[in-house]
Amino acid sequence: MNAVDTALAPKPAVRLISGNHACALGALAAGCRFFAGYPITPSSEIAERLSRLLPEVDGVFVQMEDEIASIAAVIGASMGGVKALTATSGPGFSLKQENIGYAAGAEIPCVIVNVMRGGPSTGMPTRPAQGDIMQARWGSHGDYPIVVLAPASVREIYDETMRAFDLAETCRTPVVLLYDQVIAQLAETVELGDTSDLARTERKWASGPRAAYQPYAADEDGIPAMSRPGAGYRVHTTGLNHAENGFPTQNPEAVARNLGRLLTKLDRHRDAIDSWQTINCDDAEVLIVAIGISARAATRALDIARARGVRAGLFRPITLWPFPETALREVAARARAVLVPEMNAGQLSLEVERILGGKRVEGMHRFNGEPITPAEIAARAESLAKAALAKETR
Amino acid sequence: MSAPSASRSGIDDEQLRPSATAAKAREPMNVLIVGVGGQGVIMVSKALAWLAQSKGFEVKQSEVHGMAKRGGTVFSHVRFGPQVWSPTIPKGEADILVALEWAEGLRWLPFLKPDTGIFICDTKRIVPPFACLNRRPGAPLRYSRETPAEVKAHVAEGYAIDATRMAEELGNERAANVVLIGALSTVLDFPAADWELALSAFVPKKTIAVNLDAFRLGRNWIDAARRTTTVAPEAGAPAANIPAPALVAYSVRLEITPQWCKSCDICVKLCPERCLRLNDERIVELAQPERCTGCRLCELLCPDFAIRVHLDAVANNAAAAQGATA
Amino acid sequence: MRDSRVEIRIGGTGGQGLILCAKMLADALAAAGKHVAQSQTYEPTSRGGYCNSDLVISDGEVDFPLATALDWLVLLDRLAIRPSWPLLKPGALVIADTRLCPDLPEGDRRAHHLPLSRTAIELGSERVANIVALGALAALAEICERRALEQAVRADTPRSFLDLNLDALAAGYRLGEQAITAPSSTSAG
Amino acid sequence: MIVDSAAAFDVRDYLRQEMMPHFLCPGCGHGIALRALLWAIHEQGIDKDTLAVVSGIGCAGRLSAYIDANTFHVTHGRPLAYATGLALARPDLHVVVITGDGDCLAIGGNHLIHACRRNLKLTCLMLNNEVYGMTGGQVSPTTSESRLTSTTPHGNAEPRFDACALAAAAGASFVGREGTRHVPKLKELIRSGLVHPGFAFVEVLSDCTEIFGRKNELGSSPEMMLRQKSELRPSAYRDTVDTPFRSNDLPTGILTKTERPEYGAAYRKAAAAQRASMAKASAAKSAAAPAKGTP
């Protein structure tokens, strides 16, 4: 490329930005106008970015006194009708769980970023891990639905952050963006288009006469219309089990009815929710299932393995919860073996085992802060393929 | 104490009317000035004390005002004469009682000399909160019901003067006390010019003019009153026209929501008139409606919002009285 | 296997500005249309401790963004040797600071010992050793246009340090150009 | 006189009547506190549609459900944090927090001190009944010494928090305390808090008659209420001569009132300034751009 070309061509907005930076930009593009957070490595860059960017668009940034206050303020802002975000890492994510349950139960849209680092407890603050896969799904008590998205690149963080807001709004649910320290602090060249004319998804607002409005009576899509404070509906929002009218109840029928709807409400939106990527799966004898940095390593491992004559494919859930299980089943049907490399002691493996029933699922687990390398995955895939072949020919 | 009674021997019995000059020759002149906090009682007594001192009298002044702030009782004793022993005026010994508030004036009447005492009183009514203790519908306030004419019977010489309104008309309600000084000046024989001098020393500079006007107004009013009759306000006199504080006529009705009552007994036990009770179902009811004053304490203290007090306005007082007993 | 892949590591200790200079290089490469992934490893302490910043450069999208086989290694502290040495590609080029990283282990690589930090001190601040290193690396690796790198340095430098940083970059280039003509040590340095 | 204002105020206009009767025990002071709050809201002319009430967990936390407004019954200890988000995101709303002594001072203590420090416009009503009533009467941070609770069977040995002193020390710009015995005074105090341009902390001394009262043999509801009166005196009397003869460690009335910048307004002002300077910079840039291109 010569100098004249670069000067004349409309410059594509190629930028070298980090994952956390992309998250902040994606949130703004999605219409997020409120951020509350508490400093924690390795997610603080999101807060730092938004503390500068939000005032520029008449939004609010506030650093709260602790992790719990941050998620509470975010839910509070969303109850006021404003799209809101918080970002944290494992220890903070644990602290937020009770209130994430509140947002799920009271159906308040919000987005929570969890940049995974080593654990348990304080763990390894600057080293990556993927140990919050189960916490993201089951961290709060009781039964509740939640959407968890697991982007694997800077570009994808940007896109999935926007999708997180859209899903939070349409499904009135908390959405967790789950990615590891590597992706968070990795800077990659990405091309970001102009999003100023992007159609933004807003939650369904209550309309019609107040007397007829039931805050938790759902339409056929399973999602109730939300009332905006000041619009005259004056409803009650509670973390207690409630009836369609929003008021607490312990009536078994009423609780079963509302909670039953809540627990199945995402089912009707799976088309919009589910997202995954497959690479070389059509003829794969070894299927690798991975997310985040492990999936990036697996991508490269596919090439290495194929060069050695091992037909490996990758299934990468982008929506981690609810898990795109139908898609996985279809892809896995043709594979002889399934390999799940992940930076934990076996969380994704557990879910893959559950979905694939009796199929042999081989976990590849590492929790020392070092990402699994492409070569390691390729070698494991090769030995798996050989073992599977040996078993079949025996 | 014996000293004051010993000095009694020097009384000039011919002197019926108190006068400053006479005070030189006999026992001290006793002037009691009363009112409520904020009216300027102390200023009146200071001006008088200063004037008497400037005329060579020994002056003793004592006052109580510390707790009064705004609205509480304030009184000041001013005694002057050739020699003054005690700073306070005993009951029945005041030569002149100057009251800046009507009920305060009546309260201090027993201090006035029964035979010769002169009563100068503003008809201004300041109703204290505790005068409202009886809240029965149509019931009068516990404020003096005496008319100026009735007061006449109790005093040798009395002037009920609507000083506050006169001062208001001058453009400064706060000069009411100076109107009364003007009145006082007519019963003490200090020259008017000296009074004005004293006043000028005691009022804020920019209010000197209005205060001097108030002084003259008070003086002239007494002169005019003297020409008609000694006890001032008859028909047409300002005080007679003062309406009693408006009493809104109403009847009380308690709206009780029995389903909300939880029988906590707070309303029953804390009702000042003890007119509520819990019925057989342990639900509050108004047992003695005739005693209910509509004070709302039950409504305010009910934790369950089970009581609502309605004060239904009635056409007139008679109807109000009827409503109360109904 | 699509492999235009080039891997660069700048290793040293926290506070040396390794991430910043890696970012400048990445910016320059991105401006030239390359796909770049810049990652970092650091310790929880704000200053001191092992730290590195890696660049993976590719004509297409970078699949695995972390270093697997280093083409270039810049060493600003001996602390960075142990974690980086096993990652060196056979025949990789190592640029090491003469003062801070005097001894290198055995291995199949080409090494240049350059007075990066001393040059920085002579320029007025040891803190620009990272920029000197960047210049030397760019000269030796011939990985991007000098003009683009200068632009990236300008963009990421506060006005008050601009002259110093540009001087440091030029000094680094000089060191690198001199090293090209001088023979590199092919065995233990 | 109280009659006039009280006559115009019918508490039922502000209640969700379909939720009545409320779930509070007979004689519970919280109902009286709720009336005082609603009365103050009525007097202040706050529109129910723009009123947002955020409450925590516990007996006090349940009160929001009875208020005909935008009400949010959130998690234990967190109402101030939720309210902070709501009030920052929606400065057009009038946000009131109802919390209890345990909710506010124990599990939510951190949020209280930081809300005091931050000075965002919020009115925080802390109903203090010295006990965790809903969970069966356990000791709370405000339980008086030697009191019996279900977790202090031999009498409470811990000193209690003075919530108002705590709030004032944390920088609250408005702090006040009143008992439920004095409804008009309580209403006035809350009203002053509602109009205060900043964070207002109001502690309401309320009686838990069924659990705390019974356990400590404090008598019937009316008796507890009368004792509340004898134990409280206006703060103005604090320095009078009889102080040595009557304990007065819980002064009432407005205890702190200072002028400090309100956080939300200060934030919005700074943000507007940032936007203005950005607009200026970009205008200058676009004006300079063609000039640069001409040669």
| Residue ranges of domains in chain A, CATH in brackets | 3-191 (3.40.50.970), 210-270 (no CATH), 275-393 (3.40.50.920)
**Predicted confidence band at C47 (pLDDT cuts at 50, 70, 90)?**
low
**Residues in B touching D209 (Cβ below 8 Å):** 264
Closest-CA residue of C relative to A294 is: C64
From A58-67, B65-74, B316-325, C17-26, the region with the lowest mean pLDDT? B316-325
Q: What is the largest CA-CA distance in chain A?
A: 74
Give chain C's domains with CATH numbers: 6-180 (3.40.920.10)
| Chain D partners within 8 Å of A238 (Cβ) | 65, 72-73
What's the rounded Cα separation, in Å, for the pair A39 and D31? Answer: 41
Which helix (DSSP H) or strand (DSSP E) does residue A25 occupy? helix A19-29
- Contact call for residues B181 and B219 (beta carbons, < 8 A): no
pLDDT by position in tens, chain A (length 394)? 333 333 444 455 688 999 999 999 999 999 999 999 999 999 999 999 999 999 999 999 999 999 999 999 999 999 999 999 999 999 999 999 999 999 999 999 999 999 999 999 999 999 999 999 999 999 999 999 999 999 999 999 999 999 999 999 999 999 999 999 999 999 999 988 777 667 789 999 999 999 999 999 998 899 999 999 999 999 999 999 999 999 999 999 999 999 999 999 999 999 999 999 999 999 999 999 999 999 999 999 999 999 999 999 999 999 999 999 999 999 999 899 999 999 999 999 999 999 999 888 999 999 999 999 999 999 999 999 999 888 877 7
Q: Could you tell me where the beta strands, DSSP code E, fall in chain A?
A: 14-18, 34-37, 60-63, 84-89, 110-116, 147-149, 174-180, 187-191, 236-238, 276-279, 286-289, 312-317, 319-321, 337-342, 361-365
Q: Do A185 and C27 touch (CB under 8 A)?
A: no
Q: If you ran DSSP here, which 8-state letter would residue C109 be given?
A: E
Chain D and chain A touch, per 3+ beta carbon pairs within 8 A: yes
* Contact flag A69-D270 (C-beta cutoff 8 Å): no
By the CB < 8 Å criterion, does C106 face chain A?
no
Per-domain residue ranges of chain D: 2-260, 261-295
Phi, psi angles (nearest 5°) of residue D158 = -90, 145
pLDDT at position D116 is 98
Strands (E), C14-155: 35-41, 50-58, 70-75, 88-97, 109-114
CB contact at 8 A, D53 and D64: yes
Give the pLDDT score at D164.
95
3-state class percentages of chain C: helix first, strand second, coil last, to nearest 5 = 45, 25, 30
Nearest CA to A80 out of D68, D110, D54 is that of D54
Architecture of domain B250-325: 2-Layer Sandwich (3.30)
When pLDDT is cut at 50, 70 and 90, the band that residue B242 belongs to is very low
D32:B270 CB<8 A: no
Residue A367 CA to chain centroid, in angstroms?
21
3-class state of residue A303 by DSSP: helix
**Nearest-angstrom CA–CA distance, D221 and D207:** 8
Q: Which residues in chain A have their CB less than 8 angstroms from residue C39's CB?
A: 182, 185-187
The reported pLDDT for the residue numbered B284 is 96
Question: Chain D closest CA to A177's CA: distance in Å?
Answer: 21
Instruction: Give the closest of B265, B300, B302 to D6, CB-based.
Output: B300
Is the model's pLDDT at D82 over the cut of 60? yes
Q: Average model confidence (pLDDT) for chain C?
A: 91
Average pLDDT over residues B224-239: 53
User: Which two three-digit tokens encode residue D4?
Assistant: 């006039």
Q: Is the pLDDT of residue B326 over 60?
A: no
Structure-token pair, residue D230:
């004898």
Lowest-pLDDT range, B215-219, B242-246, D131-135? B242-246
- Joined tokens for residue B148: 């100026």
Q: Into which CATH architecture does domain B3-241 fall?
A: 3-Layer(aba) Sandwich (3.40)
Asked if A302 and A281 touch (Cβ cutoff 8 Å), the reply is: no
What would the DSSP string read from start to end of A31-78? Answer: T--EEEE---TTTHHHHHHHHHHHHHTT-EEEE-SSHHHHHHHHHHHH
Q: Quick count: other Cβ atoms within 10 Å of Cβ A143?
A: 12
Percentage of chain B lying above the pLDDT 90 cut:
33
D113 contacts in chain A (CB < 8 Å): 65
- pLDDT given at position D231: 62
ipTM over 0.95: no
pLDDT band, residue B285 (cuts 50/70/90): very high
pLDDT band at C183 (very low <50, low <70, confident <90, very high): low
Cβ separation of B303 and D225 shorter than 8 Å? Answer: no
DSSP sequence for B74-143: EEEEEEEES----SSPPTT-BSEEEESSHHHHHHTGGGB-TTT-EEEEE------GGGG----TTPPPSS
The arithmetic mean of pLDDT across residues B148-163, rounded, is 83
Q: Which residues contact D163 (CB under 8 A, 6 or more apart)?
A: D101, D104, D105, D126, D128, D142, D177, D201, D203
Q: Mean pLDDT for chain B?
A: 78
| DSSP-derived secondary structure for C114-151 | E-HHHHHHHHT-GGGHHHHHHHHHHHHH--S-HHHHHH
Report the pLDDT value the prediction gives residue D38, as an integer from 0 to 100. 98
Hey, what are A123's tokens? 């763990």
Cβ–Cβ gap B305/D7 under 8 Å:
no
Return the CATH fold of D2-260.
Answer: Rossmann fold (3.40.50)
Residue A287, beta-bridge partner list: A313, A338
Q: Give me the residue spans of the domains in chain B.
A: 3-241, 250-325
pLDDT at D291 over 60: no
Write down the pLDDT at residue B70.
52
Cβ atoms within 10 Å, residue D37: 28
- Residue-level pLDDT at B65: 62
Say which residue the tokens 């004032």 belong to: D168
Q: Please give the Cα distance from A371 to C54 (Å, whole number).
A: 14
Burial status of residue A110 (CB atoms within 10 A of its CB: 0-12, 13-18, 19 or more): buried
Average pLDDT over residues B234-240: 39
Residues 65..94 of C with a Cβ closer than 8 Å to A: which?
Answer: 65-66, 68
Contact call for residues B15 and B26 (beta carbons, < 8 A): yes
D103 sits in which H/E element: none
Q: What is the pLDDT of residue B17?
A: 56
Q: Which residue has the higher pLDDT, B226 or D216?
A: D216
- Which residues, numbered 171 to 200 in chain A, qualify as contacts with chain D under a Cβ-Cβ cut-off of 8 Å? none
pLDDT confidence of residue B235: 37
Q: What is the pLDDT of residue B14?
A: 43
Q: What CA–CA distance (Å, rounded) separates B318 from D96?
A: 47
Which whole number is the average pLDDT over B138-164? 76
